[in-house]
A = this chain, B = another copy of it.
């Protein structure tokens, strides 16, 4: 027997409808690529998104299922483009401008993009690769007539001219809520990037999960600045969850240096913001250089993408009275997975234990199922010590990559293997200990490279540290610690290993230390252990 409740498909345009009807006067403030600050309201966003949507159908011929690339900063035109295209049942494919040109070529062709919407900033990049993009019909330059550049891009259309051709009376078409809606490629460290294909349903449910009081708890009284780019997994959903909550939005555009971020936090009275640690490092450095500056409006800083260092968390909380929420997620998860907020029942936890807990990646929001398993898929205990492969399930989590790539990451019970290794403590707080492929397997047991690296970084004279597994005849693998010394400082193998004593268990102790001038990094700035392992392929441990 079916219930007798209304059929109301979870389509993303409903978020915009809600913002227009009940928070129509709420502001969206954008730092534009052209320079000035732009301000308007949800009512304007809705009107222009519908106008643009009508125009992309009439002028560009975009229809249900078409893929449209965007390569743009966070700003109002980028939001309009999203809602305009998604509202037609077409797919917005956000392109990460920090990828290498050949990676961009690969994903644009692999995704079968038809048109590309681009900020002025990225016109030169696209000009450089357009000859390798045979399926692109044309480019929409997200600016007005006065700022249109001289460009060799074929079928280059001025965004504001295009928009003018549309009818703001457009009614959103209706379709199945499982219709594809957004696409984002993961920048894996091995192989080609793999495409994640979001649906309307997954985006709406994920935004609702994000808005929950026990998750981010966004409210219409908040002013939210997503510094995290829209091309990073939907700006962590904020382009959906902020209008859903009716919150004021502040878009930083291209400027993410400390001074620029501070300026918007202050002038727009931002109450909540989100980005990776690198951004916050720049902000905190700027604040340290300007000791008169405070953050009186900022209540909540969401930090994810990579682990938040304790010093950063303490600085926000203790020096600036802004709370930090440590978050973890993945492109494959829409992306929110866990948040490090205080849980009911832990009110009596002593401060030291709470700090240790707060530095973990957090606990899952409703709609996220999560477990850790051994290599055979057996669930492991939540004791905060046992670590295993982190697997997740839920309506905002991928069941496959585009075109069947990476099928080995999905099991037949519907779990997605995150590729991370983590612990989960008795209270449900999860802590990433390593990437699965970077774990060192010694005698059937796992050694976490991240832990050793973090302790090694505490040794004076050490600038950068990386641990990799090296083949060993008896133990299968044993850890090698690779060190870059600080300029002009000296440090010995004995000093480095000595600094680890008492901090890690004995059998985790690296079998050797190698000093190098440079440790290789990926395009997104992470240590490339793959390259490092290749460099040390023929290395023979003294213990072997």
Contacts and interface: CB of A to CB of B under 8 A. Distances in A.
A201 to B, nearest CB: 7
Number of identical monomers bound together in the oligomeric complex: 2
A157 B178 CA distance: 45
Contacts of A216: 213
A396 interface: yes
Interface in A382-402: 393-402
Interface in A342-377: 342-345, 347, 363-364, 366-367, 369-370
A6 interface: yes
Nearest to A427: B25
Q: Nearest 10 pairs between A and B by C-beta?
A: A3-B199, A213-B217, A220-B344, A5-B202, A8-B395, A1-B65, A4-B197, A3-B180, A221-B344, A1-B180
Interface stretch (A15-23, A115-123, A534-542): A15-23
B5 A398 contact: yes
A301 interface: no
Q: Which of A8, A91, A364 has the most CB of B within 10 A?
A: A8
Contacts of A15: 366
A414 interface: yes
B199 A5 contact: yes
Given A23-B428, A208-B208, 13 more contacts: A1-B179, A2-B199, A4-B402, A5-B198, A5-B201, A6-B395, A6-B414, A8-B395, A14-B367, A15-B366, A208-B212, A214-B218, A246-B343
B25 A345 contact: yes
20 contacts: A1-B180, A2-B178, A3-B202, A4-B196, A4-B402, A5-B201, A5-B396, A15-B366, A23-B344, A211-B212, A211-B213, A212-B212, A212-B218, A213-B216, A213-B217, A213-B245, A217-B219, A222-B344, A246-B344, A248-B344
Interface string A176-198: 10111100000000000000111
A88 interface: no
Nearest to A2: B178
In which size bucket is the chain A interface?
A: 35 or more
A10 interface: yes
A245 B65 CA distance: 36
A22 to B, nearest CB: 4
Contacts of A4: 180, 196-197, 199, 398-402
A274 interface: no
Nearest to A208: B208
A26 interface: yes
Contacts of A181: 3
Contacts of A370: 21
A343 B18 CA distance: 13
Nearest to A195: B4
